[in-house]
Amino acid sequence: MNRKIRVGIIFGGRSAEHEVSLLSARSIIQAIDRDKYDLTYIGIDKTGNWRLYENEDFLIYPEDPKKVRLVESGQKLAIIPGKDRDQLINLSNFRIIDHLDVVFPVLHGPFGEDGTTQGALKLAGIPFVGPGVLGSAASMDKDVAKRLMTQAGILNAKFMAFHRHQLETIDFQEVREKLGLPVFIKPANMGSSVGVNKADSEERFFAHLKHAFEFDDKAVVEEYIKGREIECSVLGNERPAASLPGEIVASHDFYSYEAKYIDDKGAILQIPASLPEKIISQVKEIALQTFKVLCCEGLSRVDMFLTEDEKIYVNEVNTLPGFTKISMYPKLWEQSGISYSELIDRLLQLAIERHERENKLKTSLN
């Protein structure tokens, strides 16, 4: 009998999307094929400590997205750089944790989706689900991502990027002339609409900009694009595939954090989206092009706007999107013929395949 594949599930993290990560991880753990995979549970608390949990009882209030949090009893871990089999060490007794064959970093936002965790796992020689360091970092930074998309001819909203130190010198009239009103203001490195606001006046512009700087040292200001919110899931490494698109119909002013995770009536997910075949093909083509331009691998969800004149603007790319059973990424693949459990399996296999491919590359001239 073949040995089960040992999978490390990493969840939590230091970002404002900590709670979303916990909910995603819980869904994956409940659905993964236990006949094929053995699980190791690794939670990252809000201060950045890695903790080992012996079983699935690592959450308090797991059914409540407002209250859900990590149990604090997990034993602290450290990750060990190198390509031998000693990858993780228990800091309470300095024992080596059983070797991990692959990791699913179910982490959203900074310190998890931005290439930092991916770099640590790469240094430790552990295969992991999702894009690598470059794809994760480039996609996470909205300023960098938009520059790369623009250079590749991928339509996206006009924008301006500002750093915190520029706050006192920003000319609101210049912003208004270049982008019009209203504008959306976003932290450059954040997801799940955290810190995102809509401004239609100078007073609100600066108030929301200051709010964005609470989450990042850089903020992006975008022109307002009036259109339907369309999302498309991408899966694969060298030959990725795109799912059928879905549509977000938000009951709030826009698809905010509250609409996504707190208010159960905050939005309607239309899966698949009601679109002409021509538009469906264009959405899938643009999703794949964006995935490749931003050097993504494994998975990503590409979010777009479809205007009345049928122009498609890419809004952003999520390299580790929400992964509960009712999240858009897995629901789109379910509609496209891949079940939730099968999707998890495919992502883990893609991670192992990429790791094996990279291990064949030369690291010296000898």
Do 12 and 78 fall within a single domain?
A: yes
190 in a structural domain: yes
Which residues lie below 8 Å from residue 201, measured CB to CB, with a gap of 6+?
Answer: 181
Do 216 and 232 fall within a single domain?
A: no
Furthest-apart CA atoms within the chain: distance in Å: 70
Task: Determine if the peptide bond prior to 272 is cis (ω within 30°).
Answer: yes
What integer pLDDT is reported at residue 6 of this predicted model? 96
Do 211 and 253 fall within a single domain?
A: no
Tens of pLDDT along 108-133?
989 999 999 999 999 999 999 999 99
Residue that is last in its domain, among 128, 149, 169: 128
Which residues lie below 8 Å from residue 127, measured CB to CB, with a gap of 6+?
Answer: 101, 102, 103, 121, 351, 352, 354, 355
Q: Domain with 215 in it: what CATH number?
A: 3.30.1490.20
Tens of pLDDT along 325-345?
889 999 999 999 999 999 999
Question: What's the domain range around 204?
Answer: 158-223
366 in a structural domain: no
Do 99 and 56 fall within a single domain?
A: yes
Closest CA to 208 of 188, 224, 227, 187: 187
251 in a structural domain: yes
Residue that is last in its domain, among 169, 197, 223: 223
The three-state DSSP-derived secondary structure of the chain is: CCCCEEEEEEEECCCCCHHHHHHHHHHHHHHCCCCCEEEEEEEECCCCCEEEECCCCCEECCCCCCCCEECCCCEEEEECCCCCCCCEEECCCCEECCCCCEEEEECCCCCCCCCHHHHHHHHCCCCECCCCHHHHHHHHCHHHHHHHHHHCCCCCCCEEEEEHHHHHHCCHHHHHHHHCCCEEEEECCCCCCCCCEEECCHHHHHHHHHHHCCCCCEEEEEECCCCEEEEEEEEECCCCEECCCEEEEECCCCCCHHHHHHCCCCEEEECCCCCCHHHHHHHHHHHHHHHHHCCCCEEEEEEEEECCCCCEEEEEEECCCCCCCCCHHHHHHHHCCCCHHHHHHHHHHHHHHHHHHHHCCCCCCC
Do 295 and 349 fall within a single domain?
A: yes
Do 291 and 232 fall within a single domain?
A: yes
Instruction: Give Cα 151 to chain centroid, integer Å.
Output: 23
Residue that is last in its domain, among 128, 143, 168: 128
184 in a structural domain: yes
145 in a structural domain: no
Give pLDDT < 50 ranges for the chain: 256, 259, 261-263
Please give the tally of structural domains in the chain.
3
Residues in the chain: 366
What integer pLDDT is reported at residue 170 of this predicted model? 97
Q: Domain with 104 in it: what CATH number?
A: 3.40.50.20
For 92, phi then psi, to 5°, come to -80, -30
What integer pLDDT is reported at residue 299 of this predicted model? 98
Do 281 and 317 fall within a single domain?
A: yes
192 in a structural domain: yes
Closest CA to 230 of 240, 219, 241, 243: 243
292 in a structural domain: yes
For 86, phi then psi, to 5°, come to -95, 90
What integer pLDDT is reported at residue 263 of this predicted model? 46
What integer pLDDT is reported at residue 267 of this predicted model? 76
Do 237 and 348 fall within a single domain?
A: yes
Q: Domain with 294 in it: what CATH number?
A: 3.30.470.20
pTM for the predicted model, two decimal places:
0.93
